[in-house]
């Protein structure tokens, strides 16, 4: 049985790389066909490079613009004013932004398209409030909740991209973020409705989230448990 020289996890026969940390395996007793691996890698890179971002943006634009214009035309012809078609057009517009924002830049910079998507969502929610009969919920509810969610997501993405979090630390951070988000949403909603920051249902979500986060941290410190689990799932 072979072991990874970097993290010590058990390896299957003829493994080309460690399933846990990705370190290349060099085992004279079980040589790996690197030519096949290199060919597969080149094919994968070629497939990624062949993706036409401009064509994707054009196709998405045409596909989403057609029903938006059709709904506005029908609403304008058969109705005195534009009513329901504005909701349809706004929904298709935000779908367009979310689908093309990752492809607007030469490099796939997650932080930028997350901010773009958040701004588009806020614009959509503001339009919904403006068109609907109920007013006054955008600034006390939609704005702070969307802003807090965006900050949480950006923080996680930045920490992961800078490799500040290890494998199970990422899971622990996700559980913690879910718990904090529920606490924030619960508090903001009660503040809007009851004029007091009060927590109730969010505590039922926070407690298991914190428990799972602590379990992930403990497992990260006891790497041999994780290595054994990975090995038994992979064999």
Exposure b/e, 203-227, CB count within 10 A at least 16 = b: eebbeebeebbeebbebbeebeebb
Reported as a single tens digit per residue, the pLDDT across 13-41 is: 666 677 666 677 666 555 555 554 555 55
pLDDT score, position 22 = 66
Q: Which residues touch 51 (CB under 8 Å, ≥6 apart)?
A: none
Q: Where are the beta strands (DSSP E) in 79-162?
A: none
Which tops the pLDDT comparison, 8 or 107? 107
> Which pTM does this prediction carry?
0.72
Reported as a single tens digit per residue, the pLDDT across 119-132 is: 999 999 999 999 88
Alpha-carbon span 41 to 98, nearest angstrom = 29
pLDDT above 80: residue 63:
yes
Alpha-carbon span 69 to 212, nearest angstrom = 48
Helix (H, G, I), strand (E, B) or coil at 17: strand
């Amino acid at each position: 049985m072979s072991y990874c020289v970097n993290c010590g996890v058990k390896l299957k026969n003829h493994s080309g790389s460690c399933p846990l940390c990705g370190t290349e395996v060099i085992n004279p007793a079980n040589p790996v066909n690197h030519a096949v691996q290199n060919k597969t890698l080149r094919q994968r890179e070629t497939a990624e490079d062949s993706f036409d971002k401009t064509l994707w943006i054009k196709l998405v634009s045409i596909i989403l613009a057609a029903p938006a214009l059709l709904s506005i035309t029908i609403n304008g012809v058969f109705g005195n004013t534009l009513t329901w078609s504005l909701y349809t057009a706004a929904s298709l517009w935000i779908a367009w932004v979310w689908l093309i924002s990752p492809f607007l830049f030469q490099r796939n910079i997650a932080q930028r398209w997350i901010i773009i998507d958040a701004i588009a969502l806020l614009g959509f929610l503001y339009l919904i409030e403006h068109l609907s009969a109920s007013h006054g919920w955008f600034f006390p509810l939609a704005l702070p909740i969307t802003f807090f969610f965006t900050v949480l997501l950006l923080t996680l993405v930045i920490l992961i991209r800078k490799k500040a979090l290890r494998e199970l630390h990422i899971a622990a951070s996700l559980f913690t973020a879910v718990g904090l988000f529920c606490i924030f949403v619960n508090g903001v909603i009660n503040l809007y409705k009851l004029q007091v920051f009060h927590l109730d249902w969010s505590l039922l979500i926070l407690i298991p989230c914190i428990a799972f986060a602590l379990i992930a941290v403990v497992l990260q410190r006891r790497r041999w448990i994780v290595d054994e689990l990975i090995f038994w799932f992979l064999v």
